[in-house]
Amino acid sequence: MGGTDHSMNDALLAANRQRRPLLLTLPPSHFCERARWALDRQGIGYDEERLAPGAHILRLRRLGASATSLPLLIRGDGSLCQGSDRILDWTGMLGGDPEIEGRLEQNTAPLIRHCLYAGLLSDPQSGIRDVLLRVSSKSQAIVGRIAWPFLRRIMTSGMNARLDVLPHLIDQVDHELDWFEQILAERGDSLCGKEFGRTDLTAASLLAPLALLQAEPARSISAGIRWPQSLAPHLARWSDRPSVKWVRKVYDAERVPSKNVAS
């Protein structure tokens, strides 16, 4: 029996070592797209599990994660790697500028999220509910639709995503785009050296929600969004800015999606 037990343990250990990483995401999150793109770019095979807002907290707590934010990568050995910045570190992607990435992570990207949700959550016809609930678990999607009025209030309160703060947020987004366009003017299309690197990927993915991309996976993830009048004119205006044109150019040239979504 002892020999059999050892053989079974060896087989389980070998299977565990060969397990594909699992990326947990909120579908429309630009931070999750940053991690998704880095894994694709580095040729790292993985599966993606898209979670509904609220349900993701229970999933992460069961895993013993240190925070309730996504993305989170469950590596092949079962260890956790949480946060798009740490996932990029784990992929070994080069070509980074910590100062630029830090501002994008801490200022620009949260501001864009705040701005867009302030408009989308305030308009019941925006389609944001269906985008957020286009997830891997059918039961999560069903529960999410039933609980949407409550969930919408929680999200609005948690992000202070109110329509009355939107004009100020739009001004702040313009300020961040001014800053990034100065970086582009100084450095050109490649932000760190001549080759596409992690800072280029970071900037393109975290600015991507403003670009209304037709490239995958952004196109299918955001399908069904109907931009409210509170945002539509500004998105049209931002679309012509050099920073947003740069995002579309980078996606067209560099973004090759994979098909890793868990059903």
The torsion angle over the Cα atoms of residues 221, 226, 56 and 162, rounded to 10 degrees, is 140
Burial status of residue 34 (CB atoms within 10 A of its CB: 0-12, 13-18, 19 or more):
buried
Q: Do 222 and 120 touch, CB atoms closer than 8 A? A: no
pLDDT tens over the chain, length 263 residues: 455 554 545 544 455 456 899 999 999 999 999 999 999 999 999 999 999 999 999 999 999 998 989 999 999 999 999 999 999 999 999 888 999 999 999 999 999 999 999 999 999 999 999 999 999 999 999 999 999 999 999 999 999 999 999 999 999 999 999 999 999 999 999 999 889 999 999 999 999 999 999 888 888 899 999 999 999 999 999 999 999 999 999 999 999 877 666 54
**Predicted pLDDT at 181:** 98
Buried b (16+ CB within 10 A) or exposed e, 76-85: beeeebbbbb
Largest CA distance in the chain: 72
Q: Which of 179, 233, 239 is nearest to 210 (CA)?
A: 239
**Number of helices and strands (H, E) in the chain?**
14, 4
Please report the pLDDT score of residue 1 as a whole number: 47
On the 0-12 / 13-18 / 19+ scale of CB atoms within 10 A, 181 is: middle
pLDDT at 13: 46
In angstroms, the CA 115 to CA 231 distance is 9
* Burial class (CB within 10 angstroms; exposed 0-12, middle 13-18, buried 19+) of 54: middle
Cα separation, 135 vs 130, whole angstroms: 9
Cα–Cα distances in angstroms (integers) from residue 56 to residues 71, 129, 140, 201, 215, in the given order: 10, 15, 10, 25, 26
Helix (H, G, I), strand (E, B) or coil at 194: coil
Indicate the pTM of the whole model: 0.90
3-class secondary structure, 16: helix
Rounded distance, CA 160 to CA 229, Å?
Answer: 19
Do residues 154 and 56 lie in contact, with contact meaning Cβ atoms separated by under 8 Å? no
